[in-house]
Chain A
Amino acid sequence: MKFKIYRYNPETDKKPYMQEFDLDIPEGSDKMLLDVLVDLKEKDPTLSFRRSCREGVCGSDGLNINGKNGLACITSLSSLKSPVVIRPLPGLPVIRDLVVDMAQFYKQYEKIKPYLIADTETPAKERLQSPEDREKLDGLYECILCACCSTACPSFWWNPDKFVGPSGLLQAYRFLIDSRDTRTEERLADLDDAYSVFRCRGIMNCVDVCPKGLNPTKAIGHIRSMLLKSGV
């Protein structure tokens, strides 16, 4: 099987280039793409990429695989066409090879205050929530911040400093809808500008690529409805 991998070392390379590898994959075996990258790194130790849990939980190995963002560790080779073209996540500055600078992504995440703010008295044990209210967080809390969605979003490519992006907005809604959070109005007010939420044009690239099967577009729709309800 053929692999074309994006290579760039700013210390030695003037320009990024694609390096080709040919790897014998035994018939009947179905490796994950991350295993292949690990094999290739043994051949060429200068190849750089991020990985950690190797089971789709940590969100470290988000890559652009054959033009679509995804996690290398849960992408099986049988689902890919040869040659497999592997590039870093689009829209973020490349540090080296497949490693990107995620600062802009985390900055947007930080902006939405991704933590519970409750002005009520601190209970002795824990803040209680009914099973129905807890259910509202399903499909939101599972986000692993791999950045596959935000880096697949043209609105985030053009305005990464102003548009929160699908991942951040999914998290924003997770705290807006949390029955224990008391800062709903304040959170909404922070989002009511021309960019933060409204730069989403609903093209749903985020839904298409999310390795956890989440739906940021739906969450953004809910935020719009909440803004509308509080604004009219």
Chain B
Amino acid sequence: MVTTVTSLGRSGLHDWVLQRLSAVIMLAYVVYLGYFFATTPEITFTAWQGLFASTFMKVFSLLTLLSVVIHAWIGLWIVSTDYMPKVSIRVAFQAIVIVICLSLVVWGIQILWSL
């Protein structure tokens, strides 16, 4: 059993499930947006604002943003543990990724609920 402190989940299985689940949510969001673009004759500011006016879209968007953040944290953590053998560089990289991920969530909430 190998211990890890900067990974998102504390077990390999946890990370693995989260990464797959977040991928499904992101795919669903892309398909939904694709449907919107395909069925809206003209993308105007009103149409765009109307789309994000519903609570459903706000929640769905936030869920997708959370999925992006979770997916990126797990994925980049794996990349860094594979390709950054120097501990100081690895820790710095992981810290930056985590800070960016958390900031994006807060920023995303602010943007979504100000629409």
The answer on a CB contact under 8 Å between B1 and A194 is no
Which A residues are CB-close (under 8 A) to B17? 228
The answer on a CB contact under 8 Å between B16 and A198 is yes
Q: Does A64 contact B (CB under 8 A)?
A: no
Q: Does A18 contact B (CB under 8 A)?
A: no
CB contact list, B3-26 vs A, under 8 A: 3-4, 7, 11-13, 15-17
CB contact list, B73-105 vs A, under 8 A: 77-78, 81-83
Q: Does B2 contact A (CB under 8 A)?
A: yes
Which B residues are CB-close (under 8 A) to A227? 12-13
| Chain B nearest CB, measured from A158 CB (Å) | 4
Interface window among A43-51, A122-130, A185-193: A185-193
The answer on a CB contact under 8 Å between B81 and A159 is yes
| Chain B nearest CB, measured from A184 CB (Å) | 15
Q: A224-B16, A228-B17 are in contact. Are A194 and B11 (CB under 8 A)?
A: yes
Q: Does A218 contact B (CB under 8 A)?
A: no
One digit per residue, 1 when the CB lies within 8 angstroms of any chain B CB and 0 when it does not, for chain A 69-81 equals 0000000000000
A187–B91 Cα distance when bound, in Å, is 30
A191–B77 Cα distance when bound, in Å, is 19
| Chain A nearest CB, measured from B56 CB (Å) | 28
The answer on a CB contact under 8 Å between A193 and B81 is no
The answer on a CB contact under 8 Å between B82 and A198 is no
Please tell me the number of chain A residues within 8 Å of chain B, measured between CB atoms.
20
A228–B15 Cα distance when bound, in Å, is 12
Q: Does A31 contact B (CB under 8 A)?
A: no
Question: Out of B3, B78, B82, B83, which one reaches A193, CB within 8 Å?
Answer: B3
A227–B17 Cα distance when bound, in Å, is 11
The answer on a CB contact under 8 Å between B82 and A195 is no
A227–B13 Cα distance when bound, in Å, is 7
Question: Out of B7, B13, B82, which one reaches A192, CB within 8 Å?
Answer: B13
A190–B13 Cα distance when bound, in Å, is 12
A228–B82 Cα distance when bound, in Å, is 24
The answer on a CB contact under 8 Å between A196 and B12 is yes
A189–B13 Cα distance when bound, in Å, is 10
Q: Does A162 contact B (CB under 8 A)?
A: yes
A28–B83 Cα distance when bound, in Å, is 48
Q: A158-B82, A158-B83 are in contact. Are A193 and B16 (CB under 8 A)?
A: no
A198–B15 Cα distance when bound, in Å, is 9
Q: Which residue of the partner chain A has the closest CB to B3?
A: A193
9 pairs from A and B in contact (CB 8 Å cutoff):
A158-B82, A191-B1, A192-B13, A193-B12, A194-B11, A194-B12, A194-B81, A196-B2, A198-B15
Binding site for A on B (CB under 8 A): 1-4, 7, 11-13, 15-17, 77-78, 81-83
Beyond A194-B78, A199-B78, A224-B13, 17 additional pairs, beta carbon < 8 A: A154-B82, A158-B82, A193-B1, A193-B3, A193-B4, A194-B4, A194-B77, A195-B4, A195-B12, A196-B1, A196-B2, A196-B12, A198-B15, A198-B16, A227-B12, A227-B13, A228-B17
Binding site for B on A (CB under 8 A): 154-155, 158-159, 162, 189-199, 224, 227-228, 231
What are the 9 A-B residue pairs with the smallest beta carbon separation, nearest first?
A198-B12, A158-B82, A193-B2, A195-B2, A194-B12, A162-B2, A192-B11, A227-B13, A194-B4
